[in-house]
Amino acid sequence: MLTINHISKAFRNVQALSNVSFNVQPGKITGLIGQNGAGKSTTFHSILNFINYDGEIKLNQQPITEQTFDKIGYLPEERSLMPKLTVEQQIIYFARLKDQSAKATRPKIKRWMQKFDVKGDLKTKIKSLSKGNQQKVQLICTLIHEPSLIILDEPFSGLDPVNADLLKQHIINAKQRGAMIIFSSHNMNNVEELCDNLVMLKNGHVVLNGTTDSVRDQFGKNKIYVTTQQSSAELSNLPHVMNVKTLEPHRYLLMLDDPSAGPDLFDRITHGKYVEEFSQQPPTLDEIFRMEVRDSNA
């Protein structure tokens, strides 16, 4: 388990992190979200000992040292490949930094290139690859030694939907073998789809921390998706319905001022008869993110 206890970091007059604490469990995926400048990259750099900080960070109850780095895979937000190397040379170079021999790494490379559908071969120069394929090579460099802790800073940036799905599958594969995974993303759909747990930073403070479902439930189930023959006007007149949005013919989204009104609304809309859809939901992570950002800007 990765344990982060009360870490703080200041750069001159800027308090980048303030008393940040959370855990990343084996076989779990944690999403680290927040606006630009919220402290996400500073948190990653603290975990990796790139910077000094106050507080304590441990991996499996031990301080993170040079030996620990061999168990960590890190994809930085700013990609860092060497354009004059071949794909094979680049992957072997990073693997050797993780104490993996060229002899052990070389037989794996072609299989990993096939997994990520890299357009090129072992002898292709990095500079000859498209930006998307370069990113996939760097992802291979991050994952090929099968690290127990994987840190991905904006891993989906620049990937088209097909290649983003490939990456998602490999993140899930790493989770299934028991890796601890933490990634940052501005795309809340990716976070909602992949993450077991969520940590949101705002101005260096943890403002949300928990399972994805528990974080959403904190904001109340104030949305009802319903299919009904009743009109938008009729639905608008129901108690505690603040707003009605027509999604498609006979399908509506009701916004409530009191989530506890759900059972009464169910009775009033269905009259005890079958309806195709009546689903009461909390806000999406994207909506929560926007609410939290709006509050910080108020």
Can you give the pLDDT at residue 295? 66
Can you give the pLDDT at residue 65? 86
Q: How is residue 181 annotated by DSSP?
A: E
pTM: 0.86
- 8 Å CB contact between 47 and 57: yes
Instruction: Starting at the earlier edge strand, list the strands of the sheet with 62-63.
Output: 14-24, 2-11, 54-59, 62-63
* pLDDT band at residue 37 under the 50/70/90 scheme: confident
pLDDT single digits (tens) 153-174: 999 887 888 889 989 999 999 9
What percentage of the chain has pLDDT greater than the value 90?
76
Can you give the pLDDT at residue 105? 93
Q: Is CATH 3.30.930.10 what the domain over 2-217 is classified as, yes or no?
A: no
- Would you tell me the crossing angle of helices 87-97 and 102-115 to the nearest 10 degrees? 120
Q: With 80 as the cut, is the pLDDT of residue 36 above it? A: yes
The two three-digit tokens of residue 30, written as one number: 């944690």
Domain ranges of the chain: 2-217, 223-281
Can you give the pLDDT at residue 53? 95
* pLDDT band at residue 67 under the 50/70/90 scheme: confident
Q: With 70 as the cut, is the pLDDT of residue 296 above it? A: no
pLDDT single digits (tens) 190-242: 999 999 999 999 999 999 999 999 999 999 999 999 999 999 999 999 999 99
Distance from first CA to last CA of the chain, Å, rounded? 37
What own/partner pairs with CB < 8 Å and gap ≥ 24 does 11-18 have? 15/203, 15/204, 16/42, 16/204, 17/42, 17/43, 17/46, 17/53, 17/201, 17/204, 18/203, 18/204, 18/205
Residue 187's alpha-carbon distances to 164, 184, 214, 282, 287, in angstroms, are: 12, 9, 19, 18, 12
- 8 Å CB contact between 211 and 198: yes
Amino acid code (one letter) for 243: N
Amino acid code (one letter) for 97: L
Mean per-residue pLDDT, 232-255: 95
The phi, psi pair for 137, rounded to 5°, reads -65, -40
